[in-house]
Structure 1
Amino acid sequence: MNMNTHQDPQPVEPPPGLAEELRISIARLSRRLRSVSATEGTGPHGSPRQPRLTISQHAALAALERHRAMTPRELADHEKVQPPSMTRVIAALEEQGLVERSPHPTDGRQVVLRVTQRGVDLLREERRRKEAWLSRRLSELTPREREILRQAAPILDRLSKS
């Protein structure tokens, strides 16, 4: 006799076209948010207020901020890139004063990378600009549409982590 009365529900196929619609919409929104930092982070006459980062540089800087400190190898592994590629990213971040190196506490052959205050400030300002842009766009939606997005946010987050 089977004592297991709870069975996992069978997977249900999503409606046709849902995956494509989500992929396109998320890609467009992602591109638009990336462009906000590139276009709205400028001073008078288009002069840059803060350094402009490539996607790889931004991802590495944000990862370092989240993890507080990492070796170059740990950062390369985290970002799933080859160490020589990460070396170039780190060099660019150091050159802009966004990352600093210090000796590894237990292994004299290694260094530890940390985000400088300038890097923290840059990330904070970029997040502020992106959230302000997104808040303006959300205010254009109906209350019902905003509620649907509020409910969808944790689902999209779960998809991004799977």
Structure 2
Amino acid sequence: MPTPKTTDHSAQSLAEELRMSIARLGRRLRRQGNHRLTITQFAALAAIERHHEMTPRELADHEKVQPPSMTRVITALELERLVERSPHPTDGRQVVVRVTDRGRTLMREERARKEAWLSQRLAELTSQERAILEQAAPILDKLSKA
């Protein structure tokens, strides 16, 4: 495995390397999944699970998609019995979407499968490489929230 380049690295070339590496890692992790949901459906399901319940508009805003697109995503998740809609507690014109037990089980199994694969890959690295990744993890998280 090549050693990390720390000198003569412009922000542009680092951005390119990170983009490609993160994209490849993301694809590899997605392949560990065992369900036929799309990336968008998984992202929506994860957001609803994390927030406990959301209106379709809140979910669309959170995922940065148009409400009609999110309505289709929610409908697909409902057909799989992964989410359910119920009346909004204070606004009768709206509904809230919640993850079902089946949806929580699916997310737990998917995460476990992906984390097991990633744990195995991390075990193949040197302790120094794992230490570098441990330091990089919060930085990557910060970038993901920018």
What is the TM-score normalised by the length of structure 2? 0.90
Find out whether 1:132 has 2:116 as its counterpart. Answer: yes
**1:111 CA drift (Å):** 0.9
Matches of 2:139 and 2:89, distance apart in 1: 40
Find out whether 1:161 has 2:141 as its counterpart. Answer: no
Q: 2:4 — aligned with what?
A: none
Matches of 1:156 and 1:135, distance apart in 2: 18
Q: CA RMSD in A?
A: 1.1
What is the letter of the counterpart of residue 98 of structure 1? L
Q: Report percent identity of matched pairs.
A: 75
Q: Which of these two proteins has the greater Rg computed from alpha carbons?
A: 1
**1:109 CA drift (Å):** 1.3
Matches of 1:77 and 1:158, distance apart in 2: 20
Tell me the alpha carbon deviations over residues 28-85 of structure 1, each in whole angstroms, 9 at most, x when there is no partner. 1011111110xxx2xxxxxxxxx42101100110000011011111111111111110
Tell me the alpha carbon deviations over residues 77-109 of structure 1, each in whole angstroms, 9 at most, x when there is no partner. 111111110111000000000000111111111
List 4+ stretches of structure 1 deviating above 6 A: none
Find out whether 1:110 has 2:104 as its counterpart. Answer: no
Number of equivalent positions = 137
Counterpart selection for 1:35 from 31, 36, 40:
31
Find out whether 1:15 has 2:9 as its counterpart. Answer: yes
What is the letter of the counterpart of residue 17 of structure 2? E
Matching of residues 8-157 of structure 1 within 5 Å:
15-16=9-10, 17-37=13-33, 41=34, 51-157=35-141
Tell me the alpha carbon deviations over residues 105-145 of structure 1, each in whole angstroms, 9 at most, x when there is no partner. 11111111100000001001000000000000011111111
Matches of 2:139 and 2:62, distance apart in 1: 23
Matches of 1:126 and 1:99, distance apart in 2: 16
Mark the runs of 5 or more structure 1 residues left unpaired by the alignment.
1-13, 42-50
Q: 1:6 — aligned with what?
A: none
Mark the runs of 5 or more structure 2 residues left unpaired by the alignment.
1-7
Q: 1:9 — aligned with what?
A: none
What is the TM-score normalised by the length of structure 1? 0.81
